[in-house]
Structure 1
Amino acid sequence: MNRNDPLLKELNILYVEDEEQTREYFVNFLKSKVKNIFVASNGKEGLGLFKTNDIDIVLTDIRMPIMNGINMAEEIKKINKNTPIVVITAFGDSDFLMDAINIGIDKYIMKPVYFDKLIDTIFGIAENLNYKKEIEYKNNKLNEKIAEIGNITKSMGEGLLVVDNNYKIIYINNMVTQISKYSTDELLNQDLNILCDNYSNILYKIENVFKTKELTKIEKEYIVSKTGKQIPISLSISPLKSDTEDKIVIIFQDITDALLKQNRIKELLLQEKYLKSILQTVTNVNQAIIESTNLEDLLKRSCKKLEDHEYYKLVFITLQDTNGYVNYTKTMLINQDMQNEFLNELTFHPSIESIEKNSIVIFDDFNKKECSKMLLDSIEENNLRFAITLPLKKDTQSPPVGSITIFTVRLDGFENEEIKILQELCINLGFAIHAYKQKEMLEKIESEKIKNYEETILVFVDMIEQRDTYTAGHSHRVSLYSELIARELGFSEEQIIKLKQAAILHDIGKIQTPDSVLLKPGSLSDLEYTLIKQHALIGYEMLSKMDVYKDLAEIMKYHHERFDGKGYPLGLKGDEIPPISRILIVADAFDAMTTNRIYKPRKTVESALEEIAKNRCTQFHPEVVDATLKALKNIEIDTKVSQVPVSMLEKERLAYFYKDQLTDLYNKSYLEITLKDLDKTKASCYAIYLKNFTKYNIENGWEGGNTVLKEFSKYLLREYQNSFVFRIHGDDFIIIDENRDLMLNETNMKQESILKDLYVDIHVVKKDLKSVNKVLDLENSLE
């Protein structure tokens, strides 16, 4: 085609484009080829130019600011519906195309636009415009121009026929015979109804044209071919005046292809709209996957989001577990109170088949799918048409972790593209399910691991309590006191739980403290004190190695610190000590004060609280002291709580520290302890002295003297095994019986013991214990 055709040179073109570079590009190309080109950057400007200028063709983009191309075109069509409008469109403008079709846009050019295509389109329209001008001219020339019109319409692929005022066909061109399959002879002089499917409508239009002398257009009508086929056409009806009578010229075009294209566009637009809704639903499900907190939450959220789609009316997920298959849903079709029953009774073979065969199952004959009654009832009541079951997998190669079943009310079932989208969703959902199952398994392993840790720790705690009478119950009492103080201070429930756990474990480090230090009831030496102080850091090191105990380790680490900085292990002071640890410090001290110790009797609650108040701002944090005075003022202390041995086993264990190394008899220190708790109204006491023993030692040496002492001690233990036997000095002994008078006899003791053949004699003195409270009192009474 000659791009500089004179036909183009006669055109006034309105070009509307908001993008400056594109606009300049096409203006530079067109301005040399057409008569005038009027340029606008938006629909509003374009409409103004159209109103003030004689425009032949409008070229417009769609998406523009202020007024878009479609709205502008609609206004132009209102002004002059015959003005050709060419829309330049992109794939993303599909949501405007239906409007464009309804308005009656003449041509569409898809982006990117090539110059050849643009010129061809403009030229085609120019030809059509020129043709219409010629038709108008030729109508003025009446009958002599009919043949010329026929040739023109033939060249444009349009049918042309002329009818007289009796509606007889008096002229046709070749396109009429091609379209109708009738021959010329079969049509000439026949009534128009031979072709018209809707004759009365055509007749009405023709009558109107005869009256008004104005051209009339019909966008869509049908003619009937010789074979009976209905052929869609668009037509124009024009008056044609002759010398003798008026005639009507009918020009029509077969629009079969155009309608097919329009219908296809509509189908594609509807399909695109539907698939967009599916994509939005899938997006919502993916968001639910992200927001879910656990497996069950994930499954129910996903079902609910899918059912929010207008066509998906029932969705459930089937997972395989050790007991078979488990179903999940959040459907609104089943009463919420009945959902558990619905899921328990749910039998649906395709959901299992999809898992076992790793395949997609689509069906509509539900009666053959082994459905439970509740499911069949829901299908019937809600007019469910089709169902699809897809396997849920963490990736394309993995076996299914379950399946998802979706019921739809859509008459056309599931689109191929829709299935592909759902398959992608199933991978995301399957991956999330797999991840949650992995998490559950890891949590179970971690829980078992923690349980093992706890059991181990509790064994250690039990071992300490078994070793130390005082420690037994001490940790639990400290836990109770800590809780009461923490509540008074307003600590959170979570903090209180941690504090109580830390209190139970606060002395765990004593597992490494030697018995000789841990069980020693009396005062500790500097070395022993250094050893026992290590238990706080030892306990911290033990617990901090396990993640589950790290917080507790931090709390108990500081339970021997002091407010004035004189505590251990770090010497923290004031607010350097963590708030929760400050409570443990006071609770630990309060229990120590109110527990009966071998070397120190217990304090009353009142005196213990007075002692705590006295040490406010020195040993204890003032805020915690104030809370303690309120929280523990009415606490009741079990007076049985004591470090003093009660059973023979406890006495023997503690006596380990109070045995004479040579004779294995109790020593003077243990006599001091015994005198404190002795019922002196029932007990009897005898002092035994070995006379001349110093002389025997000198003559026979220390080894000989030690042999005599050991053998004599064995005799005493054997004869008085239910009594307490003490060696308080080198050759002085004390025997105490808690319940009876031993009635000791010097002669019998000498004759029955190793002293029988020695010049060492025995002197026995019975002592009244009523006025004896300590060893010194007893020693003074023996002098």
Structure 2
Amino acid sequence: MNEEMIDKIKYAHQEWLCALDAVSSPIFLHDKDFRILRCNKAYSQYAGIPYAEIIGRAYYELFPKNDGPLPHCTEALEDPLSEGSEEDVKIEDKLFHSKGFIIKDEHGNYLYSLHILEDITEQRQIEEALRTSEEKFRALVESTNDWIWEIDRNGNYTYASPRVESLLGYTPEEVVGKSPFDFMPLEDAQRLRGEFQKLITKHTPLFGLENTNVCKDGTIKILETSGLPFFDKNGVFAGYRGIDRDITERKQSEVSLHQANRALKTLSAVNTALVRAANEGELLKNVTDIIVQQASYQLAVVVYADENPQKSIRPVSAAGMDITHYWAEDITWDDTEKGQLPVCEAIRSGKTQICHNIACAIGFKGWKESTLSKGFASNIALPLNNTHRTFGALCIYSTEENTFDKEEIRLLEELANDLAYGIMNLRARVEQEQHATLLRQSLEQSIQTIAATVEARDPYTAGHQHRVSELATAIAREMNLSKEQIQGIHLASIIHDLGKIHIPAEILSKPGKLNTIEFMLIQTHPQEGYNILKEVKFPWPIADIILQHHEKLDGSGYPQGLKGDKILLEAKIICVADVVEAMSSHRPYRASLGIKPALNEIKRGRGSWYDPSVVDACLKLFEEKRFKFSTTHS
């Protein structure tokens, strides 16, 4: 071997030693007795001993320190076929991965062992942290109430958390490979597939997408889907990861709340209609309109149960459609084949009848095809009860199945009770009004009879009281008094001179001027009229009006000399009407003075004798509205 070759070998050896020293992991060579033949700087640093003191010493005395060589090192030397071995070694607070290699010559004879100690402490800590994190994530995934999933770019599930089984009844294995649309009703799947494809194409995040799913047992669950797109290491869209949350109960609560609010608003509107209704027909029309227009039910019908031999059910009001083309004339509340509809049973039993699904209802046999053809799917019949019987029912129809839940039924029952009460109230009011009308007619006939009796004794003033009543009521209307006040003035006017029945007829019909005693006797007629009527219970103060109809504002009138506000307005009106009629009519002691002097008289006494507002109303009647007495003056 020439000198140049020797130099190259030395240079290569030096390069190998430099390469070993550049490695950060401890590396050493040992013989069969485990004595170190060579080592790199890293080994010297870990052993804490200079290189010169290491060579020739057993490595287990230096690093890693132990009672003997590493087990895998011994096993490798004892196995003639072994080319090396490895194991993890804990050295103080660090973990090393020890690898040993058997170096042999070209004949297979052992030369030495190469040992590398790699510090894997940080790597194992990372692996442990990752494992812990994975366990926590797995526990979270498996314990959460949400179904966690992953789909690929084609929209097929590649992962489904165990929650899917308790949610839909399918195992994760049954879900993987299928698409979300495989679990939806056909109509929903067809509707959502296109929308979902648009979102996937644009890689749009999914937030709160509501969708209906059919469980393995056939039940329905409503899920809320949210997810984010993910991409592979090359930035290519790979699919979506997300969650599905069961919102079935929430949606059911929302529907129940909506239905309860709908029923409450309907109830409130119906109660307003009850208060404002002037008659029964108006009430029923308003209530059925409210149920359809405000509550969005499709049909509302009020029916009455007739007490005839056929026990007919008669529709009286409806909204939503013309019931003459729908309601069967032969429906009866008798327990026969024609009386099996919910409305029939509601009238018979006096209890609410609910049909959640008309298509499956036995009671709709014979009417089912017609009812379903109108789009109706559910129905409720609410009895209308009075204290004696069920006199009718309120029927409400919906185009959706299972429309009426417990709370809505309770509120609709309250509505039906209020409606029944309102109907009976209006009927009672009509009866009372009819009774009151009869009483008023009887009262007026009696008063007219009394007036005729009075005027029969005084032929010269025949018709005077009627004419005074005519003018007095016209003044009252001009003053915008209430109907009740006008009626009282009318009746009081007709008999305002009732007390003259106690005045001798010869004085009443005396053609000449009355003397003082006779005039004083005439002045007693208001008191005498009061005495006759004071015990009679009129709806108006008739006796007091008659007593005061000759009083003057300044107290100069009779019989009590009352002043101003102490005099009833009704008496003030009759007083003015009495003066105008008397002066414009013929009297036994003089001819008629005419209307003009009569009006001048009340103008002269305006504010002193006569009430200004009454005078002004009277003048307006004659001067602007051309008032004339309808009966001929005597």
Classify 1:531/1:296 alpha carbon distance in 2 versus 1 (closer, same or farther; 3 Å).
Answer: farther
Cα distance, 1:299 vs. partner?
2.6
The residue correspondences of 1:732-747 to structure 2 (distance < 5 A) are: none
Query: In 1, are the aligned partners of 2:463 and 2:631 still within 8 Å (CA)?
Result: no
Q: 1:278 corresponds to which letter in structure 2?
A: A
1:388 to 380, 399, 409: 380
Counterpart in 1 of 2:112? none
Q: Aligned partners of 2:167, 2:469: CA distance in 1, in Å?
A: 101
Counterpart in 2 of 1:303? 288
Q: Aligned partners of 1:543, 1:313: CA distance in 2, in Å?
A: 61
Q: Does 1:444 align with 2:434?
A: yes
Q: Aligned partners of 2:417, 2:247: CA distance in 1, in Å?
A: 37
Q: Does 1:406 align with 2:396?
A: yes
Cα distance, 1:575 vs. partner?
7.0
Counterpart in 1 of 2:99? none
Counterpart in 2 of 1:601? 590
How many residues align structurally? 448
Q: CA RMSD in A?
A: 6.3
Q: Does 1:276 align with 2:268?
A: no
Q: Aligned partners of 1:635, 1:155: CA distance in 2, in Å?
A: 99
Counterpart in 1 of 2:445? 455
3-state DSSP class of the match of 2:381? strand
3-state DSSP class of the match of 2:540? helix
Classify 1:390/1:596 alpha carbon distance in 2 versus 1 (closer, same or farther; 3 Å).
Answer: same
Query: In 2, are the aligned partners of 1:482 and 1:584 still within 8 Å (CA)?
Result: yes
Q: Aligned partners of 2:491, 2:165: CA distance in 1, in Å?
A: 101
The residue correspondences of 1:351-500 to structure 2 (distance < 5 A) are: 351=343, 353-363=345-355, 364=358, 383-393=375-385, 399-482=389-472, 494=483, 499-500=489-490
| Higher RCO, 1 vs 2 (CA within 8 Å, ≥6 residues apart) | 2
Counterpart in 2 of 1:535? 525
Query: In 2, are the aligned partners of 1:401 and 1:433 still within 8 Å (CA)?
Result: no
Query: In 2, are the aligned partners of 1:609 and 1:629 still within 8 Å (CA)?
Result: no
Counterpart in 2 of 1:656? none
Cα distance, 1:390 vs. partner?
0.8
Counterpart in 2 of 1:6? none
Q: Aligned partners of 1:529, 1:492: CA distance in 2, in Å?
A: 34
Classify 1:198/1:567 alpha carbon distance in 2 versus 1 (closer, same or farther; 3 Å).
Answer: closer
Classify 1:575/1:359 alpha carbon distance in 2 versus 1 (closer, same or farther; 3 Å).
Answer: closer
Name the TM-score, length of structure 2 as normaliser. Answer: 0.52
Cα distance, 1:428 vs. partner?
2.5
Q: Aligned partners of 1:420, 1:535: CA distance in 2, in Å?
A: 66
Counterpart in 2 of 1:196? 177
Q: Aligned partners of 2:535, 2:251: CA distance in 1, in Å?
A: 69
The residue correspondences of 1:626-641 to structure 2 (distance < 5 A) are: 630=623, 641=634
The residue correspondences of 1:249-260 to structure 2 (distance < 5 A) are: none
The C-alpha deviation readout for 1:414-433, integer Å capped at 9, x for no partner, is: 22332222112222222233
Gaps of 5+ in 1: 1-135, 161-172, 202-215, 242-251, 642-783
Q: Does 1:333 align with 2:325?
A: no
Higher helix share: 1
Counterpart in 2 of 1:264? 249
3-state DSSP class of the match of 1:550? coil
Q: Aligned partners of 2:422, 2:623: CA distance in 1, in Å?
A: 52
3-state DSSP class of the match of 1:317? strand
Cα distance, 1:506 vs. partner?
1.7
Counterpart in 2 of 1:567? 557
Percent pairwise identity: 24
Query: In 2, are the aligned partners of 1:358 and 1:391 still within 8 Å (CA)?
Result: yes
Q: Aligned partners of 1:444, 1:516: CA distance in 2, in Å?
A: 44
3-state DSSP class of the match of 2:396? strand
Q: Aligned partners of 2:602, 2:136: CA distance in 1, in Å?
A: 121
Name the TM-score, length of structure 1 as normaliser. Answer: 0.44
Q: 2:292 corresponds to which letter in structure 1?
A: E
- Bigger drift between 353-362 and 512-521 goes to 512-521
3-state DSSP class of the match of 1:312? coil
Q: Does 1:592 align with 2:577?
A: no
Query: In 1, are the aligned partners of 2:470 and 2:490 still within 8 Å (CA)?
Result: yes
Counterpart in 1 of 2:271? 286
Cα distance, 1:406 vs. partner?
0.9
Query: In 2, are the aligned partners of 1:313 and 1:409 still within 8 Å (CA)?
Result: yes
The residue correspondences of 1:139-288 to structure 2 (distance < 5 A) are: 141=127, 153=138, 157=142, 195-198=176-179, 261-288=246-273
- Bigger drift between 559-568 and 624-633 goes to 624-633
Classify 1:328/1:544 alpha carbon distance in 2 versus 1 (closer, same or farther; 3 Å).
Answer: farther
Cα distance, 1:457 vs. partner?
1.8
1:504 to 482, 494, 516: 494
Classify 1:386/1:530 alpha carbon distance in 2 versus 1 (closer, same or farther; 3 Å).
Answer: farther
3-state DSSP class of the match of 2:550? coil
The C-alpha deviation readout for 1:569-610, integer Å capped at 9, x for no partner, is: 222356765555444324323443454444x23234278548
Gaps of 5+ in 2: 1-121, 149-160, 183-204, 234-240, 333-340
Query: In 1, are the aligned partners of 2:263 and 2:295 still within 8 Å (CA)?
Result: no
Query: In 2, are the aligned partners of 1:346 and 1:371 still within 8 Å (CA)?
Result: no
Q: 2:575 corresponds to which letter in structure 1?
A: I
Q: 2:289 corresponds to which letter in structure 1?
A: K
Q: Aligned partners of 2:166, 2:630: CA distance in 1, in Å?
A: 116
Classify 1:311/1:492 alpha carbon distance in 2 versus 1 (closer, same or farther; 3 Å).
Answer: closer
